[in-house]
Structure 1
Amino acid sequence: MDSLTIVAPMTPMGVSAVAALRVSGSQVRRVVAELFGEKAASSLVPRMANLGTARDPKSHKVLDSLLYIYFAAPNSYTGEDVLELYPHGNPLIVRDLLQAIRGIEGVRLAEPGEYTRRAFLNGKMDLTQAESVADVIHSANRAELENAHRLLSGALSKKIATLTAQVKDISARLELDVDFAEEEADPDYNGWQEKFENIRESIKAILESFRGKASLSRLPLAVLYGAPNAGKSSLVNALLGEDRVLVSNVPGTTRDFVEVRLFLDGGEIRLVDTAGIADKATDELDALSMKKSREILDEADLKILVVDGSDERTGGALQTRDETVHPDFTVYSKCDLAVVRQKVTELVDVHQPDQGPRACRGAEGSLSISSKTGEGLAELKSAMNAVLFKKTENAEDLWITSEREKSCLEEALAGVDRVLAQLRENPAVELLAFEMQLVRRALQSITGEISSEDVLQSIFAGFCIGK
């Protein structure tokens, strides 16, 4: 890391009410002086919002009237002097302001992840917390976001610190025995196996919590299916609150599946509207459409059967639906809800007398909705959320998502396993001490207490510019 001051936008490019830029380094006061004047620079008060007119240092052209806040080292995100600027969110303003600051001597554009890297190097956070910053930004659902916040607050760091302290204590005792090996009798290993096994179980528990980012980044998939003209596309539009999918009274309007994004309380999901599935295809294109509908259903995390509740043949729809696909629950659409609820009650009583009438619930439930008035949509979203974002039994549990952390834990676990094997077969104190040194180094690597330039480059290269 060089000593130059860095600058980068903190918000993505695009039109918005307000944008944000961050400057970090020893030249922050000079940046303020060049943009707002020497008086503004000399009167800076940490953490106080200031309104000023920024001018280009060379042309003196007005760039924008904006708010800026100064954070004095070490009480800032990076541990250095930091300046945050909040101009209007016009991309032209942001670009001109960025160019003006970059033109000041000693200032350059920040590299990806450089702010967080400087925060780590300046002791503002350890490496597990630094990695969790990316998780906070990119979490796709509420559970992931809460886990990322736990990691950022140091929950994993505390677990690793406790483990490392235990290993250091054992290592110190082993190395003491090595120093006096020629002067004393063989060391007494009574009780040591239990200590090593406890450490092993603690490492294993953290390791087993690993969830790969590839699986976490996959959004849950909910698929609407049913007979042609059952109201699937209307339901998609109603859930989204906008006319995103073409709707027509002509059966078979949807020929291919249409995928959209829907936000539920638990997070974002993929919602798919499929082509209608009929008893018989009308032509080759219709047959192909139904085949693709069944293929996407095979991938679904949640299958929702949509039935036209205004059709007097609704009972037949329950009987003739595709028995190869088992819905998680059924939605009755396009009808008077009071009539449909009575109809559903009668049908369930007839076809499943042991179950009784059921409201919407997680499996094989039923729900009456009106895409036109919106009645029942809140219940449908709640049911979808309950299935796709199941709550964990212990909300305080955390999991790791970093392949690097997983690799370090596996290395530490392998070292403890070798220690236990030596303890049973040939408890040479020198070998035990050596293996525990390796275990300690593996654990220290997780939090960055021991780290290399290559490791840091690999971690922070994946961050966005500005973080």
Structure 2
Amino acid sequence: MEKQTIVAPMTPNGVSAVAAIRVSGPQVKSVVKTLFGEKAVAGLKSHMAKLGTAKWPASVEGGCRAGAVIDSLLYLYFEGPNSYTGEDVLELYPHGNPLIVRDLLQACRMVEGVRLAEPGEYTRRAFLNGKMDLTQAESVADVIHSANRSELENAHRLLGGALSKKVSALTEQVKDISARMELDVDFAEEEADPDYAGWETRFVAIRQSVQGILDSFRGKAEVGRLPLVVLYGAPNAGKSSLVNALLGEDRILVSDIAGTTRDFVEVRLFLDGGEIRLVDTAGLAEKAADALDALSMEKSRQILAEADMKILLVDSSVDGVVGSSSDVILSEAKNLDLQSNPDLVLRTKQDLNQVPVKDGELAISSKTGAGLAELKSALNARLFKNRENSEDLWITSEREKACLEEALAGIDRVLLQLRSNPAVELLAFEMQIVRRALQSITGEISSEDVLQSIFAGFCIGK
């Protein structure tokens, strides 16, 4: 049976300037004919954008909408195998009205043999058609979901085949040794015992390479976790005002009354290096005013214990002399912070009272914006290490990790047997296990269950 054609939106549901829909499979030209007419099919050229008016097909139920305009839009045709999936592909770029997207999907599905795509089916077809290997296919999801630049750069390296090249080189070495072993097995009765001289050195080198890749593993939870930055300090130190200034909007209620913030408030802030979680806490004082105040301060201490970076805010308007009451507030806030020093001290409200700052401190004003750029730069430098031009990469796939562990265990068994002068048949058997484990990483050997597990976690349009 001929492979079915699939269709799905590539952009999230919702209103936008432009949406995108992808069609892939043997019925692409039939979809073009249905939406844009015979002339559009005749004028199709691969990788060339066309402007057309999509209309309801005559086969629409009841016929009341047949010929009615769905939308005027751009469309692109990619002739297989020079496409993402390796098949004929059509991409539609209508206006981003959900009603238009829904109508286009329905019109496409009126063509016989066209159905909605399953999650990850486009990338799965790209893998099956040889457009990418399995490690590259898995990295597509990492490219989409990376939360910071270092993760995104790593995902691009994986997508570009950096890991594939390493694994392929190891696989070739294992294949070469394995072939020599199997040759020895074939002629075991005719020749003397094989010469294992030098083999152990090669196996040790392969083991080091496999171990190096395995040591680079970083789990999805670790990679996907956003850095947590917690602002804390005395009541009315300017924490909520700072959050609003950093976001450029009035997200948190601000008042001259001390203690307005009673619970910690978490927001997302984008820096040059990536996204962070920024938390505004209730003010910390030496003594709680009431039971609710005590509960608020306890929650502040709890979230501080989880922080990747703790920032203490000290009100510069309290006095103008560094070394007097300001330092008393700083000292008390340190004690309240679970006996831990802050990672950065901010002297706030510099527009009211400019005071000099010490090393490890920044002067800011949420009202005028003074010092905010320096603060963002400090956050970025602390939370996102500069990895520009780095050739290092790490793996995030549990499947790849399991394959590497299987290969490593096989190599260890080979090394153990080599040192005890074993039968060459046993060595050849173990090397087959190692080779298959490495081939499974790139998908040279894969099962339907493995593919289903990998691509089920993708979004529908990818």
Same fold (TM over 0.5): yes
Q: Within 5 Å, which residues of 2 pair with 1:110-129?
A: 110-129=117-136
**What's the secondary structure of 1:316's corresponding residue?**
helix
Q: Within 5 Å, which residues of 2 pair with 1:200-349?
A: 200-312=207-319, 313-323=325-335, 324-336=339-351, 339-341=354-356, 344=357
**What's the secondary structure of 2:288's corresponding residue?**
coil
Shift of 1:335: 2.4
1:448 aligns with 2:443: yes
Q: Which amino acid aligns with 2:253?
A: L
Shift of 1:318: 2.6
Q: Which residue of 1 aligns with 2:172?
A: 165
Residues 426, 17 of structure 1: alpha-carbon distance in 2 compared, 3 angstrom cutoff: same
Shift of 1:150: 0.1
Q: Which residue of 2 aligns with 1:175?
A: 182
User: Unaligned regions of 5+ residues in structure 2, if any?
Assistant: 61-65, 320-324
Q: Which residue of 1 aligns with 2:461?
A: 466
Shift of 1:337: 7.9
Q: State how far apart, in whole Å, the 1-side matches of 2:137 and 2:102 are.
A: 28
Shift of 1:386: 1.1
Out of 98, 101, 104, which is 1:94 matched to? Answer: 101
The answer as to whether partners of 2:351 and 2:367 remain within 8 angstroms in 1 is no
Q: Which amino acid aligns with 1:61?
A: A
Q: Which residue of 2 aligns with 1:26?
A: 26
Higher mean C-alpha displacement, 332-341 vs 439-448: 332-341
**What's the secondary structure of 1:322's corresponding residue?**
helix
Q: State how far apart, in whole Å, the 1-side matches of 2:452 and 2:333 are.
A: 56
Shift of 1:264: 0.7
Shift of 1:316: 2.5
Q: Which residue of 1 aligns with 2:384?
A: 389
TM-score when normalising by structure 1: 0.94
Q: State how far apart, in whole Å, the 2-side matches of 1:149 and 1:398 are.
A: 10
Q: Within 5 Å, which residues of 2 pair with 1:360-371?
A: 365-371=360-366
1:43 aligns with 2:17: no
Paired residues in the alignment total 447
Shift of 1:159: 0.2
Q: Which amino acid aligns with 2:72?
A: S
**What's the secondary structure of 2:8's corresponding residue?**
strand
Shift of 1:338: 7.8
Q: State how far apart, in whole Å, the 1-side matches of 2:388 and 2:405 are.
A: 26
Q: Which amino acid aligns with 2:82?
A: N
Shift of 1:164: 0.3
Q: State how far apart, in whole Å, the 2-side matches of 1:30 and 1:258 are.
A: 53
Q: State how far apart, in whole Å, the 2-side matches of 1:219 and 1:192 are.
A: 46
Out of 72, 84, 87, which is 1:80 matched to? Answer: 87
Q: Which residue of 1 aligns with 2:162?
A: 155
Q: Which residue of 2 aligns with 1:426?
A: 421
The answer as to whether partners of 1:227 and 1:278 remain within 8 angstroms in 2 is yes
Shift of 1:462: 0.4
Q: State how far apart, in whole Å, the 2-side matches of 1:177 and 1:250 are.
A: 86
Q: State how far apart, in whole Å, the 1-side matches of 2:82 and 2:331 are.
A: 68
Shift of 1:253: 0.1
Q: Which residue of 2 aligns with 1:131?
A: 138
Residues 334, 79 of structure 1: alpha-carbon distance in 2 compared, 3 angstrom cutoff: same
Q: Which amino acid aligns with 2:344?
A: F
1:189 aligns with 2:196: yes
The answer as to whether partners of 2:334 and 2:342 remain within 8 angstroms in 1 is no
User: Unaligned regions of 5+ residues in structure 1, if any?
Assistant: 345-356, 359-364
Q: Which residue of 2 aligns with 1:103?
A: 110
Shift of 1:394: 7.3
The answer as to whether partners of 2:440 and 2:446 remain within 8 angstroms in 1 is yes
Shift of 1:45: 0.6
Q: State how far apart, in whole Å, the 2-side matches of 1:292 and 1:64 are.
A: 53
The answer as to whether partners of 2:127 and 2:137 remain within 8 angstroms in 1 is yes
Q: Which residue of 2 aligns with 1:14?
A: 14
Q: Which residue of 1 aligns with 2:398?
A: 403
Q: State how far apart, in whole Å, the 2-side matches of 1:55 and 1:195 are.
A: 65
Q: Which amino acid aligns with 1:106?
A: G
The answer as to whether partners of 1:260 and 1:270 remain within 8 angstroms in 2 is yes
Shift of 1:319: 3.2
**What's the secondary structure of 1:339's corresponding residue?**
coil
The answer as to whether partners of 1:337 and 1:369 remain within 8 angstroms in 2 is no
Q: State how far apart, in whole Å, the 1-side matches of 2:106 and 2:266 are.
A: 40
Q: How large is the Cα RMSD of the aligned pairs?
A: 1.3
**What's the secondary structure of 1:80's corresponding residue?**
coil
Q: State how far apart, in whole Å, the 2-side matches of 1:149 and 1:322 are.
A: 42
Shift of 1:194: 0.2
Shift of 1:216: 1.1
The answer as to whether partners of 1:337 and 1:368 remain within 8 angstroms in 2 is no
Q: State how far apart, in whole Å, the 2-side matches of 1:141 and 1:158 are.
A: 25
Q: Which amino acid aligns with 2:16?
A: S
